[in-house]
Amino acid sequence: DVNDTLGHAVGDRLLVEVAHALRASMRSGDLATRLGGDEFAVLLRHVTDPETATQRAREVASRLERPFAVDGVTLEVGVSIGVALRPWHGDDIGTLLQRADVAMYRAKREGSGVRLYEPADQPGDDIRLELLAELRGAIERGELRLHFQPKIALRTGRTIGFEALVRWQHPERGLLLPAAFLPAAERTALMRPLTDWVLREAIRSCAGWRAAGWDVDVAVNVSPSTLLDEDFPTLVTGLLAAEALPGHALELEITETAAMVDPQRTADTLLRLQAMGVRVSIDDFGAGYTSLSYLKNLPISALKVDRGFVTNLLTDRADEAVTRTVVQLAHDLGLLVVAEGVETAEVQQRLVELGCDEAQGYVIARPMEPSSVLDWLAD
């Protein structure tokens, strides 16, 4: 940020000073590199315990925090350092750098100088805010991608459709999963253009698969805020019409929270969607706090058992009990049940026995690039 305040000449000189100070705190065999902007990475060899690593980082920080004289101006630098250690936090340099980055944003946010990566750390809000600022441009530049994960009928094994999952092909950070940018976008005006893009792209893709002769549908995740938007059903109608896709080929997956914010408005929106044949399922069922009375009153067609219950079905009796109960409940209410997060053939088999209708998961297929969908169907 120094460039904005003092101009590039001073900013660049300061970075050179910082680099010198960094070098002064390094030992033989260590490496340092500038990652870009005002970010540096330092690789310390022969450090095998977290205490020593943190201690060395503190030495670096205190050296960098001494005032610098640049062109007759005295400058002080605030330093945030994130530490990740092999083998504790990862084995390869990419993982270590990414984790150090997460810890660094944490340090920055908490105002502490040095912070060791903790496995429970999530990308900090800072990083999310930076990404958020770039997201609008990303939509316009066409950096968003959809990957598609097959959903099969458990009795026949037939692929009945695909769930669209958004990714961001970030020019520097690589392929970002939704967790890296959606939570920050959710409460902002950006969610609308993002949802528009996802829906348009998903509908267009599905129309393509159907034109190629496959009777499959597409499922799109919609955020709670989307459902509270009264124009949403009109948008969906327009997009379906543009690709001549029948409403019944589109399924919307909503989480339980959506229904809880404003049950009446959500029900109105869902009824208008239902009138076009669009189906709605409740995602992550069991993980939240759905009041069963909502279920009775909402026009929905399926429950997706949260993958937290499915993945360990065979080893965790409580998980099996929940899944069994959800299957029963759904069928009593006249709804389909979908299990997500199916990672082994054994779990898949057990789901068949439990009477579950549909399944998704890594053992069937991971989310795939659009170009792989027709090959998958033909296999």
| Binding region for Ca ion (CB under 5 A) | 38, 221, 253, 283-284
Query: Residue 48 or 188: which CB sits closer to ligand C2E?
Result: 188
The answer to whether the bond into 123 is cis (omega within 30° of 0) is no
**Spatial distance between the Cα atoms of 127 and 74, rounded to a whole number of angstroms:** 29
Among positions 171, 178, 238, 277, the unique one binding ligand C2E when judged by CB under 6 A = 178
Among positions 81, 89, 100, 149, the unique one binding ligand C2E when judged by CB under 6 A = 149
- Residue 361 binds to ligand C2E (criterion: CB under 6 A): yes
- Taking the complex as a whole, the smallest distance from the CB of residue 87 to Ca ion amounts, in Å, to 29
**Spatial distance between the Cα atoms of 62 and 66, rounded to a whole number of angstroms:** 7
Write the secondary structure of 125-190 as one string of H (helix), E (strand) and C (coil): HHHHHHHHHHHHHHHHHCCEEEEEEEEEECCCCCEEEEEEEEEEEECCCEEECHHHHHHHHHCCCC
Out of Ca ion, ligand C2E, none, what residue 182 binds, judged by CB under 5 to 8 A for its kind, is ligand C2E
Q: Tell me the two tokens of residue 176.
A: 């970002």
**Of residues 272-301, which lie at the interface with ligand C2E (CB under 6 A)?**
283-284
Out of Ca ion, ligand C2E, none, what residue 178 binds, judged by CB under 5 to 8 A for its kind, is ligand C2E
**Of residues 7-26, which lie at the interface with ligand C2E (CB under 6 A)?**
none
Among positions 130, 188, 271, 362, the unique one binding ligand C2E when judged by CB under 6 A = 362
**Spatial distance between the Cα atoms of 208 and 227, rounded to a whole number of angstroms:** 26
Contact window for ligand C2E (CB under 6 A) among 73-81, 237-245, 293-301, 335-343:
335-343
**Spatial distance between the Cα atoms of 101 and 103, rounded to a whole number of angstroms:** 5
**Spatial distance between the Cα atoms of 325 and 323, rounded to a whole number of angstroms:** 5
**Spatial distance between the Cα atoms of 142 and 134, rounded to a whole number of angstroms:** 12
- Interface positions with ligand C2E (CB under 6 A): 149, 165-166, 177-179, 182, 198, 221-223, 253, 283-284, 307, 340-343, 360-362, 367
